[in-house]
Amino acid sequence: MKGSNKVADVIDGKRVAAEIRQEVKQEVEDLRANGVTPGLAVVLVGDNPASAVYVRMKAKACEEAGIYSRVIRLPVETGQGELEAVVDELNADGAIHGMLVQLPLPPQIEERSITWRIDPAKDVDGFHPMNVGRMMIGDPLAFRPATPAGVIELLMRSGYDPSGKRVTIVGRSNIVGKPLSVLLSQKMKGGNATVTLAHSRTPDLPAVLREGDILVAAIGVPEFVKAGAVKPGAVVIDVGVNRVDDPGTEKGYRLVGDVAYEEVSQVASAITPVPGGVGPLTIAMLLKNCIVATRGIAGIA
Protein backbone atom coordinates (compact mmCIF):
# COMPACT_ATOMS: atom_id res chain seq x y z
CA MET A 1 0.00 0.00 0.00
CA LYS A 2 1.00 3.57 -0.61
CA GLY A 3 2.94 5.76 1.77
CA SER A 4 1.77 9.31 2.51
CA ASN A 5 3.87 11.16 -0.09
CA LYS A 6 4.55 8.52 -2.69
CA VAL A 7 3.21 8.84 -6.23
CA ALA A 8 1.29 5.79 -7.52
CA ASP A 9 3.06 3.02 -9.40
CA VAL A 10 2.27 3.01 -13.10
CA ILE A 11 0.63 -0.20 -14.36
CA ASP A 12 2.29 -0.92 -17.68
CA GLY A 13 -0.32 -2.18 -20.16
CA LYS A 14 2.17 -2.30 -23.02
CA ARG A 15 4.40 -4.74 -21.13
CA VAL A 16 1.51 -7.02 -20.15
CA ALA A 17 0.04 -6.92 -23.66
CA ALA A 18 3.43 -7.79 -25.20
CA GLU A 19 3.65 -10.79 -22.85
CA ILE A 20 0.21 -12.02 -23.95
CA ARG A 21 0.95 -11.43 -27.62
CA GLN A 22 4.10 -13.51 -27.27
CA GLU A 23 2.01 -16.34 -25.79
CA VAL A 24 -0.46 -16.01 -28.66
CA LYS A 25 2.38 -16.22 -31.17
CA GLN A 26 3.49 -19.47 -29.59
CA GLU A 27 -0.05 -20.84 -29.76
CA VAL A 28 -0.29 -19.86 -33.43
CA GLU A 29 2.89 -21.81 -34.11
CA ASP A 30 1.41 -24.87 -32.36
CA LEU A 31 -1.80 -24.57 -34.39
CA ARG A 32 0.14 -24.18 -37.62
CA ALA A 33 2.14 -27.27 -36.74
CA ASN A 34 -1.25 -29.00 -36.59
CA GLY A 35 -2.08 -27.72 -40.07
CA VAL A 36 -4.37 -24.87 -39.02
CA THR A 37 -3.68 -21.16 -39.54
CA PRO A 38 -6.00 -19.02 -37.40
CA GLY A 39 -7.89 -16.44 -39.46
CA LEU A 40 -9.57 -13.23 -38.30
CA ALA A 41 -11.90 -11.08 -40.41
CA VAL A 42 -12.67 -7.50 -39.45
CA VAL A 43 -15.51 -5.67 -41.18
CA LEU A 44 -15.42 -1.88 -41.27
CA VAL A 45 -18.42 0.05 -42.56
CA GLY A 46 -17.75 3.69 -43.40
CA ASP A 47 -14.75 5.85 -42.60
CA ASN A 48 -15.00 6.77 -38.93
CA PRO A 49 -11.35 7.78 -38.27
CA ALA A 50 -11.12 6.20 -34.80
CA SER A 51 -12.62 2.93 -36.10
CA ALA A 52 -10.20 2.93 -39.04
CA VAL A 53 -7.28 3.26 -36.61
CA TYR A 54 -8.58 0.38 -34.44
CA VAL A 55 -9.07 -1.84 -37.49
CA ARG A 56 -5.54 -1.16 -38.74
CA MET A 57 -4.14 -1.92 -35.29
CA LYS A 58 -6.05 -5.21 -35.13
CA ALA A 59 -4.84 -6.30 -38.58
CA LYS A 60 -1.23 -5.40 -37.73
CA ALA A 61 -1.40 -7.29 -34.42
CA CYS A 62 -2.70 -10.37 -36.28
CA GLU A 63 0.15 -10.25 -38.77
CA GLU A 64 2.72 -9.96 -35.99
CA ALA A 65 1.22 -12.99 -34.26
CA GLY A 66 1.10 -15.09 -37.46
CA ILE A 67 -2.71 -14.94 -37.66
CA TYR A 68 -4.17 -14.57 -41.15
CA SER A 69 -6.18 -11.35 -41.24
CA ARG A 70 -8.72 -10.05 -43.71
CA VAL A 71 -10.13 -6.53 -43.54
CA ILE A 72 -13.39 -5.95 -45.41
CA ARG A 73 -14.02 -2.24 -45.98
CA LEU A 74 -17.57 -1.32 -47.00
CA PRO A 75 -18.90 2.09 -48.00
CA VAL A 76 -20.77 4.19 -45.44
CA GLU A 77 -24.05 3.77 -47.37
CA THR A 78 -23.95 -0.05 -47.13
CA GLY A 79 -27.42 -1.44 -46.44
CA GLN A 80 -28.55 -3.95 -43.84
CA GLY A 81 -28.95 -6.75 -46.39
CA GLU A 82 -25.51 -6.18 -47.89
CA LEU A 83 -23.82 -6.28 -44.50
CA GLU A 84 -25.78 -9.39 -43.53
CA ALA A 85 -24.61 -11.07 -46.75
CA VAL A 86 -20.97 -10.32 -45.83
CA VAL A 87 -21.49 -11.77 -42.35
CA ASP A 88 -23.07 -14.90 -43.87
CA GLU A 89 -20.12 -15.36 -46.24
CA LEU A 90 -17.64 -15.07 -43.38
CA ASN A 91 -19.70 -17.48 -41.27
CA ALA A 92 -19.30 -20.04 -44.06
CA ASP A 93 -15.63 -19.31 -44.84
CA GLY A 94 -13.32 -22.10 -43.65
CA ALA A 95 -10.25 -19.83 -43.56
CA ILE A 96 -11.95 -17.52 -41.06
CA HIS A 97 -12.15 -18.67 -37.42
CA GLY A 98 -12.96 -15.34 -35.80
CA MET A 99 -14.76 -12.25 -37.04
CA LEU A 100 -15.99 -8.94 -35.80
CA VAL A 101 -17.92 -6.03 -37.19
CA GLN A 102 -16.32 -2.83 -35.97
CA LEU A 103 -18.72 -0.62 -33.99
CA PRO A 104 -20.28 1.91 -34.19
CA LEU A 105 -22.24 1.21 -37.38
CA PRO A 106 -23.94 3.86 -39.54
CA PRO A 107 -27.54 4.68 -38.51
CA GLN A 108 -29.25 2.71 -41.34
CA ILE A 109 -27.82 -0.53 -39.94
CA GLU A 110 -29.46 -2.28 -37.04
CA GLU A 111 -26.50 -3.22 -34.85
CA ARG A 112 -28.32 -5.82 -32.77
CA SER A 113 -29.37 -8.01 -35.68
CA ILE A 114 -25.82 -7.97 -37.06
CA THR A 115 -24.45 -9.06 -33.67
CA TRP A 116 -27.01 -11.89 -33.55
CA ARG A 117 -26.13 -13.02 -37.09
CA ILE A 118 -22.46 -13.72 -36.41
CA ASP A 119 -21.82 -17.43 -35.83
CA PRO A 120 -21.33 -17.64 -32.02
CA ALA A 121 -18.35 -19.96 -32.63
CA LYS A 122 -16.61 -17.12 -34.53
CA ASP A 123 -17.78 -14.25 -32.31
CA VAL A 124 -14.40 -13.12 -30.96
CA ASP A 125 -15.88 -9.89 -29.58
CA GLY A 126 -18.11 -12.03 -27.36
CA PHE A 127 -21.16 -9.82 -28.02
CA HIS A 128 -23.55 -12.53 -29.32
CA PRO A 129 -26.24 -13.27 -26.69
CA MET A 130 -25.18 -16.92 -26.64
CA ASN A 131 -21.66 -15.91 -25.60
CA VAL A 132 -22.91 -13.28 -23.16
CA GLY A 133 -25.04 -16.00 -21.53
CA ARG A 134 -22.16 -18.46 -21.37
CA MET A 135 -19.94 -15.83 -19.78
CA MET A 136 -22.70 -14.99 -17.29
CA ILE A 137 -22.97 -18.57 -16.04
CA GLY A 138 -19.19 -18.84 -15.74
CA ASP A 139 -18.50 -21.23 -18.63
CA PRO A 140 -14.68 -21.31 -18.68
CA LEU A 141 -14.66 -21.79 -22.47
CA ALA A 142 -16.88 -18.76 -23.20
CA PHE A 143 -15.44 -15.87 -25.20
CA ARG A 144 -14.79 -13.07 -22.74
CA PRO A 145 -15.21 -9.59 -24.26
CA ALA A 146 -11.75 -8.22 -24.92
CA THR A 147 -11.70 -5.03 -22.83
CA PRO A 148 -13.10 -6.45 -19.56
CA ALA A 149 -10.99 -9.58 -19.99
CA GLY A 150 -8.00 -7.30 -20.57
CA VAL A 151 -8.67 -5.40 -17.34
CA ILE A 152 -8.59 -8.69 -15.42
CA GLU A 153 -5.38 -9.86 -17.11
CA LEU A 154 -3.80 -6.49 -16.39
CA LEU A 155 -4.69 -6.75 -12.69
CA MET A 156 -3.57 -10.36 -12.34
CA ARG A 157 -0.30 -10.00 -14.21
CA SER A 158 0.59 -6.77 -12.40
CA GLY A 159 0.18 -8.35 -8.96
CA TYR A 160 -3.29 -7.02 -8.06
CA ASP A 161 -5.46 -10.14 -7.75
CA PRO A 162 -9.03 -8.88 -7.22
CA SER A 163 -9.97 -11.91 -5.08
CA GLY A 164 -11.48 -10.75 -1.78
CA LYS A 165 -11.21 -7.07 -2.75
CA ARG A 166 -13.94 -4.45 -2.97
CA VAL A 167 -14.12 -3.26 -6.58
CA THR A 168 -16.07 -0.19 -7.61
CA ILE A 169 -16.79 0.28 -11.32
CA VAL A 170 -18.32 3.39 -12.82
CA GLY A 171 -19.97 2.80 -16.20
CA ARG A 172 -22.43 -0.02 -17.04
CA SER A 173 -22.10 -0.42 -20.82
CA ASN A 174 -22.62 -3.84 -22.40
CA ILE A 175 -19.06 -3.88 -23.71
CA VAL A 176 -17.10 -2.76 -20.63
CA GLY A 177 -18.66 -2.06 -17.22
CA LYS A 178 -21.43 -4.66 -17.10
CA PRO A 179 -19.41 -7.68 -18.32
CA LEU A 180 -16.48 -6.60 -16.14
CA SER A 181 -18.76 -6.64 -13.09
CA VAL A 182 -19.80 -10.20 -14.00
CA LEU A 183 -16.26 -11.46 -14.58
CA LEU A 184 -14.93 -9.93 -11.37
CA SER A 185 -17.80 -11.52 -9.43
CA GLN A 186 -17.26 -15.04 -10.81
CA LYS A 187 -16.10 -17.85 -8.61
CA MET A 188 -12.93 -18.35 -10.64
CA LYS A 189 -9.36 -17.12 -11.08
CA GLY A 190 -9.41 -13.37 -11.73
CA GLY A 191 -12.78 -13.07 -9.96
CA ASN A 192 -13.99 -13.47 -6.36
CA ALA A 193 -14.23 -9.71 -5.86
CA THR A 194 -17.12 -7.90 -4.19
CA VAL A 195 -18.33 -5.59 -6.93
CA THR A 196 -20.32 -2.36 -6.99
CA LEU A 197 -21.45 -1.22 -10.44
CA ALA A 198 -22.15 2.53 -10.42
CA HIS A 199 -23.57 4.74 -13.18
CA SER A 200 -25.16 8.09 -13.91
CA ARG A 201 -28.05 7.47 -11.49
CA THR A 202 -25.83 6.55 -8.54
CA PRO A 203 -26.33 9.08 -5.71
CA ASP A 204 -23.16 10.43 -4.09
CA LEU A 205 -20.94 8.72 -6.64
CA PRO A 206 -17.59 9.84 -5.12
CA ALA A 207 -18.49 8.22 -1.77
CA VAL A 208 -19.50 4.98 -3.52
CA LEU A 209 -16.32 4.89 -5.62
CA ARG A 210 -14.22 5.56 -2.52
CA GLU A 211 -15.23 2.15 -1.18
CA GLY A 212 -13.13 0.43 -3.83
CA ASP A 213 -9.77 -1.18 -3.10
CA ILE A 214 -9.79 -1.30 -6.89
CA LEU A 215 -11.59 1.43 -8.86
CA VAL A 216 -12.41 1.06 -12.56
CA ALA A 217 -13.59 4.04 -14.63
CA ALA A 218 -15.35 3.35 -17.97
CA ILE A 219 -17.66 6.24 -18.77
CA GLY A 220 -16.17 8.29 -21.62
CA VAL A 221 -15.98 11.61 -19.74
CA PRO A 222 -12.48 13.17 -19.76
CA GLU A 223 -10.82 13.23 -16.31
CA PHE A 224 -14.13 12.74 -14.50
CA VAL A 225 -12.83 10.75 -11.52
CA LYS A 226 -11.07 13.11 -9.13
CA ALA A 227 -8.81 12.36 -6.17
CA GLY A 228 -11.71 12.76 -3.73
CA ALA A 229 -13.44 9.71 -5.26
CA VAL A 230 -10.43 7.45 -4.66
CA LYS A 231 -9.70 5.48 -1.50
CA PRO A 232 -6.11 6.19 -0.38
CA GLY A 233 -3.94 3.32 -1.62
CA ALA A 234 -6.49 2.07 -4.15
CA VAL A 235 -5.54 0.54 -7.50
CA VAL A 236 -7.09 2.64 -10.29
CA ILE A 237 -7.86 1.24 -13.75
CA ASP A 238 -8.78 3.84 -16.35
CA VAL A 239 -10.58 2.35 -19.36
CA GLY A 240 -11.56 5.71 -20.83
CA VAL A 241 -10.08 6.96 -24.09
CA ASN A 242 -11.14 10.54 -24.86
CA ARG A 243 -9.85 13.02 -27.40
CA VAL A 244 -9.46 16.52 -26.01
CA ASP A 245 -8.46 19.53 -28.10
CA ASP A 246 -4.83 20.53 -27.71
CA PRO A 247 -3.61 23.09 -30.26
CA GLY A 248 -0.07 22.61 -28.92
CA THR A 249 0.15 19.11 -30.43
CA GLU A 250 0.73 18.13 -34.04
CA LYS A 251 -2.66 16.41 -34.36
CA GLY A 252 -4.50 19.20 -32.54
CA TYR A 253 -5.74 16.81 -29.83
CA ARG A 254 -4.44 14.46 -27.18
CA LEU A 255 -5.87 11.37 -25.50
CA VAL A 256 -6.93 11.42 -21.86
CA GLY A 257 -8.72 8.89 -19.71
CA ASP A 258 -11.77 9.10 -17.48
CA VAL A 259 -9.51 9.67 -14.46
CA ALA A 260 -7.77 12.93 -13.50
CA TYR A 261 -4.39 11.22 -13.70
CA GLU A 262 -2.13 13.75 -11.97
CA GLU A 263 -4.21 14.30 -8.84
CA VAL A 264 -5.35 10.67 -8.55
CA SER A 265 -1.70 9.53 -8.75
CA GLN A 266 -1.15 11.34 -5.46
CA VAL A 267 -3.79 9.18 -3.72
CA ALA A 268 -3.75 5.79 -5.46
CA SER A 269 -1.09 3.10 -4.96
CA ALA A 270 -1.15 2.13 -8.63
CA ILE A 271 -2.77 3.53 -11.77
CA THR A 272 -3.01 2.81 -15.49
CA PRO A 273 -1.89 5.57 -17.88
CA VAL A 274 -3.85 6.64 -20.97
CA PRO A 275 -2.61 5.73 -23.50
CA GLY A 276 -0.56 2.63 -22.61
CA GLY A 277 -2.83 1.13 -19.94
CA VAL A 278 -5.95 -0.86 -20.80
CA GLY A 279 -5.92 -0.10 -24.56
CA PRO A 280 -3.09 -2.49 -25.54
CA LEU A 281 -4.80 -5.27 -23.58
CA THR A 282 -7.96 -5.03 -25.67
CA ILE A 283 -6.11 -6.03 -28.82
CA ALA A 284 -4.07 -8.72 -27.06
CA MET A 285 -7.27 -10.32 -25.70
CA LEU A 286 -8.91 -10.18 -29.12
CA LEU A 287 -6.00 -12.26 -30.45
CA LYS A 288 -6.45 -14.67 -27.53
CA ASN A 289 -10.12 -15.06 -28.42
CA CYS A 290 -9.09 -15.79 -31.98
CA ILE A 291 -7.00 -18.70 -30.70
CA VAL A 292 -9.97 -19.95 -28.61
CA ALA A 293 -12.20 -19.74 -31.71
CA THR A 294 -9.68 -21.57 -33.89
CA ARG A 295 -9.22 -24.36 -31.38
CA GLY A 296 -12.99 -24.70 -31.04
CA ILE A 297 -13.68 -24.82 -34.78
CA ALA A 298 -10.69 -27.02 -35.63
CA GLY A 299 -11.37 -29.32 -32.67
CA ILE A 300 -7.85 -28.91 -31.29
CA ALA A 301 -7.87 -28.82 -27.49
Ligand X SMILES: NC(=O)c1ccc[n+]([C@@H]2O[C@H](COP(=O)([O-])OP(=O)(O)OC[C@H]3O[C@@H](n4cnc5c(N)ncnc54)[C@H](OP(=O)(O)O)[C@@H]3O)[C@@H](O)[C@H]2O)c1
Positions marked active-site: 58, 102, 125
Residue at shortest CB range from ligand X: 173
In angstroms, what is the minimal distance from the CB of 133 to ligand X? 20
Contact between 215 and 230 under an 8 Å Cβ cutoff? The reply is yes
- Distances from the Cα of 144 to the Cα of 129, 130, 180, angstroms: 12, 12, 9
- The residue within the footprint of ligand X, chosen from 213, 279, 292, 294 (CB under 6 A), is 279
Compute the distance between CA of residue 237 and CA of residue 269 in angstroms, rounded to an integer.
Answer: 11
Q: Which is nearer to ligand X, 206 or 296 (CB)?
A: 206
Contact between 267 and 118 under an 8 Å Cβ cutoff? The reply is no
Contact between 235 and 200 under an 8 Å Cβ cutoff? The reply is no
Asked if 170 touches ligand X (CB under 6 A), the answer is yes
Per-residue x/- track, 173-212, ligand X (CB under 6 A)? x-xxx---------------------xxx---x-------
In angstroms, what is the minimal distance from the CB of 245 to ligand X? 16
Q: Report the 10 Å Cβ neighbour count for 128.
A: 19
Give, to the nearest 10 degrees, the angle between helix 177-185 and helix 129-136: 30
Compute the distance between CA of residue 60 and CA of residue 82 in angstroms, rounded to an integer.
Answer: 26
How many amino acids of this chain bind ligand X (CB under 6 A)?
25
Stretch that binds ligand X, among 66-74, 133-141, 278-286, 288-296 (CB under 6 A): 278-286
Q: Which is nearer to ligand X, 108 or 200 (CB)?
A: 200
State the Cα angle at 70 between 64 and 72, rounded to 5°.
140
Return the residues of window 118-157 that contact ligand X according to CB under 6 A: 147
Q: Which is nearer to ligand X, 163 or 200 (CB)?
A: 200
Q: Which is nearer to ligand X, 121 or 205 (CB)?
A: 205
Return the residues of window 209-248 that contact ligand X according to CB under 6 A: 218-221, 224, 239-242
In angstroms, what is the minimal distance from the CB of 30 to ligand X? 27
Compute the distance between CA of residue 184 and CA of residue 163 in angstroms, rounded to an integer.
Answer: 8
In angstroms, what is the minimal distance from the CB of 75 to ligand X? 25
- Distances from the Cα of 284 to the Cα of 64, 112, 216, angstroms: 11, 25, 19
Q: Report the 10 Å Cβ neighbour count for 257.
A: 30
Contacts of residue 32, defined as CB under 8 A and 6 or more positions apart, other chains included, come to: 66
Q: Which is nearer to ligand X, 87 or 209 (CB)?
A: 209
Q: Which residues bind ligand X (CB under 6 A)?
A: 147, 170-173, 175-177, 199-201, 205, 218-221, 224, 239-242, 258, 278-279, 282
